[in-house]
Amino acid sequence: MSTKNILIVDDIHPIFIEQAEALGYHCDYQPTIKPEQAFEILNKYKGLVIRSKFLVDRKVIDMVKNLRFICRAGAGMDNIDEDYAKEKGIILINAPEGNMDAVGEHAVGLLLNLMNNISRADTEIRTGIWKREGNRGYELKGKTVGIIGYGFMGHSFAQKLSGFGVNIIAYDKYKTGFSDRYVREVSMEEIVKHSDIVSFHIPLTPETSGLVDDEYLFHFKKPIFLLNTSRGKVVQTKAVLNGIKQGKILGVGLDVLEVEKFPALGEQGWFEELSKSDKVILTPHVAGWTFDSYRKISEVMAEKLSRLKI
């Protein structure tokens, strides 16, 4: 067994393979392999490259004795048992730097669309409806944007918004002293008191799962526009729909949902109401998945791989 074998079990940009092999690694590229097939052969490899379809839990980690590192082609690490992997000496690499610009731009796009009823107006015109007053929008200038989570994604969103003349505040439970030219660090109490717009940029953990529920939304002092480009399970969809009905939410942009992909998505009790609401914009978990980020994610992973002493 080579000490520099890497199994790649999902689609990635070929630049990663090119750069990894220049570092002396051998890459076994099997993007269509099924999880059970991969786990049968994983002991032959020192490295594993995954995206989102593979769950690396305790059971899998206990099965592999030779694995030294796992590369996650993206930002979120919720499909890896991080603590247990580190306990077993497995090095974890992800690449939030590779898709942070994509996420930031997508979030801005969702927000401008929501505040100006662009998708709704387009649909109406295509069906013979010309409604100016019904599509009167809001300007971003002068609004307060509350960012929950100020890592790479939150910072990118703030940077993209900085030219709009907005007041940007941010809360991060796990960081302090991060105020910069784009945001002012605040408490969650200030977020709920002052925000006109709230955008979530936090990882999915047991603590953040279901964070946005009826009680959470109840505390906001003003009607808000809500964005989620992080993980679907952070936001309870039914609570969002309740917020819309109660006038607490003016519009919502969701790139991620509690349940994703069909047919499972269509079977959810809340899906029909969500899909019919003209105050909702949905995208299929593509905020961080541009043609540009596809390459940049692989470049970031390869650069981080070059620093490992394997």
Question: Catalytic residue numbers?
Answer: 231, 260, 285
Strand order in the sheet with 26-29: 26-29, 5-8, 47-50, 69-72, 91-94
246, 223, 189, 234 alpha-carbon torsion, rounded to 10°: 70
Amino acid at position 97, single letter: E
Residue 286: which of 252, 248, 251, 254 has the closest Cα? 254
CA atoms within 13 A of residue 100's CA, in its CB half-sphere: 18
Q: Which residue type, as a one-letter code, is found at position 238? A: K
Q: Which phi and psi angles does 148 have, rounded to 5°?
A: -105, 110
CA dihedral 137, 186, 172, 168 (to 10 degrees): 30
Candidates 178, 108, 118, 100; CA nearest to 145 is 108
